C-alpha cells in the first residue's frame, strides 16, 4: 500500500485551461496544491494539445505567437502534471 502518495485528480481539457489561466478557479487551486506536493494531477496529452492550440492562436503580437515551441515545451515540463496518452 502506498500511504505516501497524495490524492490524485484527473483534469479535463476545460479544467486544464482553467488551471493554467485562472488561478482562482478550483482547478487553479489544485495546480497550486500539486506544486506543493499535496495532490497529484493527471491530464491527457490531447488536453495539452488543446492548450497549445489556445496559446498559439490567442497570444500573438503583430500576428506572431508570443511563445516559441521550445518555450511551450518548457512550460509543459514545468507543470506538476502527469501526462497520459489515453
Q: What is the pLDDT of residue 4?
A: 74
| 3-state SS class at 45 | helix
Domain-embedded: residue 1: no
- Give pairs for 3-7: CB < 8 Å, separation 24+: 5/40, 6/37, 6/38, 6/39, 6/40, 7/39, 7/40
Q: What's the whole-model pTM score?
A: 0.84
> How many structural domains are present in the chain?
1
2 falls within a domain: no
pLDDT reported for residue 2: 59
- Which pLDDT does position 6 carry in this prediction? 84
Residue-level pLDDT, tens digit, the chain, 86 residues: 556 778 999 999 999 999 999 999 999 999 999 999 999 999 999 999 999 999 999 999 999 999 999 999 999 999 999 999 86
Amino acid at each position: 500500500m502506498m500511504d505516501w502518495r497524495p490524492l490524485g485528480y484527473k483534469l479535463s481539457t476545460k479544467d486544464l485551461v482553467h488551471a493554467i489561466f485562472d488561478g482562482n478557479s478550483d482547478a487553479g487551486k489544485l495546480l497550486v496544491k500539486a506544486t506543493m506536493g499535496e495532490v497529484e494531477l493527471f491530464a491527457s496529452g490531447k488536453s495539452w494539445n488543446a492548450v497549445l492550440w489556445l496559446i498559439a492562436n490567442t497570444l500573438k503580437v503583430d500576428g506572431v505567437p508570443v511563445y516559441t515551441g521550445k518555450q511551450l515545451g518548457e512550460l509543459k515540463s514545468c507543470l506538476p502534471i502527469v501526462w497520459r496518452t489515453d
